[in-house]
Amino acid sequence: MPETTLDVLALQLMQLDPADDAGVSEFVAGVRAHVAARGEAGGTPALVALAGTVDLLERVPVAQRGILLGEAGRYIERAMGEASGTVPVAEAAFDEGALPPDTDVDLLRDFIAESRDILTGAEAALLELESNPADDESVNTVFRAFHTIKGTAAFLGLGGLSAFAHHAESLLSLVRDKEIPYNSRCADLSLRSSDMLKAFLDSVEAAIDGSRLVPPVGADVLTSELERAAAGEIFEESVVETTVIEVDVITVAAAGSAGDAAGAAAMAEAMASVVAATAVREAATGPTSGKAKHEAELSVRVRTDRLDRLIDMVGELVIAQSMIAGDTGVSQIKNQALARKITHAGKIVRDLQDLSMSMRMVPLKGTFQKLTRLVRDLAQKNGKAVEFVTNGDDTEIDRNMVDAIADPLVHMVRNSLDHGLEPRDERQASGKRPQGTLKLSAFHQGGHVVVELKDDGRGLNREKIVAKAIARGLIESEKGMSDGDVWQLIFAPGFSTADKITDVSGRGVGMDVVKRNVEQIRGRIDIASEKGLGTTITLRLPLTLAITDGMLVRVGDERYIVPTINIQLSFRPATDSLYTVTGRGEMVLLRESTIPIVRLHRLFGIAGAAERPEEALLMLVGDGERQCAILVDELLGQHQVVAKSLGRGLGTVPGVSGGAILGDGRVGLILDVAQIIQLGRTAGNDDVTPAAPDRRSVA
């Protein structure tokens, strides 16, 4: 075989037939030999991109080889320019300026989405490696992630991204080949590389929309650090506790003390390099297991806007089918065969609705993994040892709701770690183990998804919260306030009891955002805390915002939908069970407890509704610990309805979360039980929690 110079490779490429398997294999071998020979001196970005391109040649159909060979020719030409000095290496690596003119935008968007998914899995594997550095499968997972991004980026003409991914991949190649150990230095450098690749993807995404394609801030610095690691620079291990990750558990600790400048400098220096003793090289992607390949073949990526459109159309189909089935003209037809067909069509539509809704459901695993990384970084920054335990990350929730709860969970974790968990010395002084525990769980309960964050820290300080609330004029005194009422005060905007607000968080700062975001998706947030033992924050969220199971009720001539998850029972009260309680309004005695009565016709100004509860129905509804009995005229049956917003024209209507088109084409309003209970309190019922009777007959 002739010497594999760039000139020889260019000549081979000009004479190469894409269908010539032997010729293609010879060309690929020549490129690899040339790159390997240059490896001792360090491959240039164009050579890195060239190597990534030819890696794909042997794995794609013959019909696609022509495109790849054209890309290879472009990189050979650029490599020649780099070798002669006519193309600056730095410019070739990062300053692309604009996307290639022949860029396939749809293909590029798919690459960005897939790369982000790949990096999410790689980050989880990197955290796993900190606990088990000998886990070869995790090493291969990260290596394959960086390698795949490198090769595909090269194919798409993203030389800067491909070059950086090559440097990140090379570090994992050294670990995989057992030439350096995977230690805390390597972990920090690899995680920073993952973050930088995400920043590159963001830059490419912005360039699709017309922005200039520029390298992320710090890319050149991090590249230099990766090159120094590959060049064999060795740094001593600083005093740092290795991150420990078990199944769903991560333990992190910071190096030195907060005021130890030498320790901080050592940490910064250590993070900037890795123990390395070999040159940068190309390595083939590890084989994909048969199971993983099979699963990949059974899945397909769909644009989210198309999926949302499908869900909307299925919802319209459900509404149309309900209108047909409920039409009086259809019901009067004495044709049993037609009735069976309509019933069968209804069943198919319901199954289609369930199937389409399941397509929107995604596990919380990705969200939990991001929080794992957040805990790791914050624990190191704060100098705390933290055991982060996650359970139920396979719990599924509507895709749109995953985005809605991401920020609230970040605020909750930051507050718990910064102000909930004590420093080591404080924990030891109180008889606790130095390592704090932060547990994040998710599970289904009563038609809801429950996400629970629990720490074993110092707990909320009732006295400090009350004093701060009084000082800010939120309350006059704590008289009659339960612990739950006091804990709710931390959701006031800007509320904080911290003596010193840190750059991480202040207890309460941002928690108003948490509550507002959760309530916008019809969820609820509760807090339980015990001084010295810890705090538990619980989010209760609907499975989806698109479908509501509800009971259709009539009040006067109006009809409303009450979500079934809030309904406990319905009953017609006896006259002697109705009371008025001083300062608390109308009550009904039920099972030795008094329940406040909320009259919907008074709240919404409905004429012609039943006035006497004993001649109508009371529906007992609850929102957590709070309960009330709403007065309705009649129950019309249980329905599964497609929930829709009221539109910008109406905005937010108190006590109403949305609307649904009913079988006869009319609109039924969906009641927000939590707001109904609150509206009942402001309308005269000062307390809606069950209490011992202090009763007086209304009669």
**β-bridge pairing 593-599 and 626-632:** parallel
Strand pairing report for 578-581 and 585-590: antiparallel
Number of Cβ within a 10 Å radius of residue 288: 11
Q: Which residue has the higher pLDDT, 593 or 412?
A: 412
Q: Tokens 């070999």 label which residue?
A: 278
pLDDT at 514 over 70: yes
Sign of CA dihedral 652, 655, 661, 665: negative
Q: What is the pLDDT, as a whole number, of residue 84?
A: 67
Summarize pLDDT for 319-336 with one digit per residue, the tens.
888 778 777 777 777 778
Detail the DSSP E strand segments found in 419-556: 436-445, 448-455, 524-530, 534-542, 547-555
Mean pLDDT of 376-403: 85
Q: Is 116 exposed, middle or buried (0-12, 13-18, 19+ CB in 10 A)?
A: middle
Section 358-368 average pLDDT: 84
* Region 503-510 average pLDDT: 48
| pLDDT of res. 455 | 92
pLDDT in tens, 102-127: 677 877 888 888 888 888 888 888 88
Question: C-alpha distances in angstroms, 234 versus 93, 237, 272, 629?
Answer: 26, 9, 11, 72
Q: What is the per-residue pLDDT across 532-542, written as a single tens digit (0 to 9) for each?
A: 899 999 988 87
Q: Which two tokens stand for residue 644?
A: 């829709």
Please give the residue that has the higher pLDDT: either 691 or 664.
664
**Structural fold of domain 547-697:** SH3 type barrels. (2.30.30)
The CATH superfamily of 6-238+249-271 is HPT domain (1.20.120.160)
Q: Which residue has the higher pLDDT, 683 or 283?
A: 683
Q: 362-542 belongs to which CATH class?
A: alpha beta
Mean pLDDT of 82-97: 52
pLDDT tens digit sequence for 114-167: 888 888 888 888 888 877 888 888 888 888 888 888 878 877 778 788 888 888
Active centre residues (catalytic) = 147, 169, 415
**Would you state the pLDDT for residue 230?**
67
- Output the DSSP codes for 569-612: EEE---GGGEEEETTTEEEEEETTEEEEEEEHHHHTT-TT----
For the chain, the average pLDDT equals: 75
Per-residue pLDDT of 585-623, as tens digits, reads 788 888 878 888 899 888 888 888 888 888 899 999 886
- The better pLDDT of the pair 27, 496 is held by 27
| 454 in Cβ contact with 534 (< 8 Å) | yes
Q: Where are the domains of the chain?
A: 6-238+249-271, 304-356, 362-542, 547-697
For the segment 454-478, the average pLDDT, to the nearest whole number, is 86
